[in-house]
Amino acid sequence: MPENIGRFLSSVAEAASHSTLVKMTLSKPADKRDELRNVYVKPVLIKEQRLFAFTYHYERRDEVKNYDVAQTLDILREMIPNRFLNAMLFTVDEDVSLLVSGKGKATLQTKKVQECREQNLDHDKQKNRLINPANPWWYQLGLTTREGKVTADMQHKFKQIYKYAEIVESLVKPMKFDGSVHIADMGAGKGYLTFALHELLTQRLQMDVDIKGVEIRPDLVLKINEIIKADGLKGLEFVESSIEAYHPEKLDVLIALHACNTATDDAIASGIKANAELIVCAPCCHKQIRQEMERSGRFDAITRYGIFLERQAVMITDTIRALILEYFGYKTQVMEFIEMEHTPKNVLLVGKKTLKKAKDPKIIRQISDLKTRYGIGNHYLETVLDFNC
């Protein structure tokens, strides 16, 4: 064993025995074909015993195993430099880096640190994250690097996904479901939010799920199902179908985020007809109501201007959607999905099924008044639900 590798392992042994080891990383696989990409090591306290948690980051999965000091040193001797050429040791007062060249030359560098460091012995830290970018599907979906870092051009998208996960967790956590939770993500697209939903419910909330991503484009369905199969994700599948043609046998939760124009209404109608417990929509486009308003010629001082007409159409469209959900026995809530600076499509419409009496005639009158005031003949959601206000 080269002298510098021996010195590095001695530094690890000393830090481990004196409880000054903060973390350690192994990177740069000696064999580029190795599915194990890197290893992250940190001290943990389990049942009053100090151990070291090894997180093995493979191409398509992560594995975590705990070892004592002797086992840790044995594993490091096996892995350096046979499997990894770079190793970094971070202690409370210094950084120690080991770099091994392809020819076997080992370089060791030690640097004192000025900041105050402390050990984190919480072995559950990773479990508390809503969404973990180190999971392999995020790289395969194009949001992260192989090392699990969100790429610069996907920062806003990942923030939106994380915000979505926070909202869904707050909605789903208090609910009671009988057995496996059946979920449809209508117009799932590239699958970002579908995968986030699966990760949140299965890994964080430990729920048994049957999630279907409904997408009309066959190339996307094929690609996403290949990722699902490669990562061994259970309870997740993409199906090729339009929103209006998809009729699940059982549906507990319906998700439809940014389904364009009346596709949002088709999704809401599917949820209502299936008696879903929870309906979550982020509406996109409101052309149908805007066109009705334009044809009517009943423009007031606001709607005669194009930009105000668009905003008014948005509010009226989504207000009627919320009222229709209430009419069919849902408690509705409208909230901000994400800050306007990231996307103008930032409204989230949520409906929770209640035991309240449905089909309140007062709601019919409210919808009718809105339609009369703005010259609207019919809202598309009325048509697909086969009733008219």
Q: Tens digit of pLDDT for each residue in 314-370?
A: 888 899 999 999 999 999 998 876 544 444 457 889 999 997 777 889 999 999 999
Cβ count near 374 (within 10 Å): 18
140-144 mean pLDDT:
94
In angstroms, what CA-CA distances link 231 with 200, 201, 278, 359?
A: 16, 16, 28, 45
At 230-256, the pLDDT tens digits run: 999 999 999 999 999 999 989 999 999
Alpha-carbon span 223 to 140, nearest angstrom:
10
In the chain, CATH 3.40.50.150 covers 136-384
pTM of the shown model: 0.65
pLDDT at residue number 122:
60
In whole angstroms, what is the distance from residue 156 CA to residue 250 CA? 34
| Phi, psi angles (nearest 5°) of residue 317 | -55, -50
Q: Architecture of domain 136-384 in CATH?
A: 3-Layer(aba) Sandwich (3.40)
State the DSSP code for 151: P
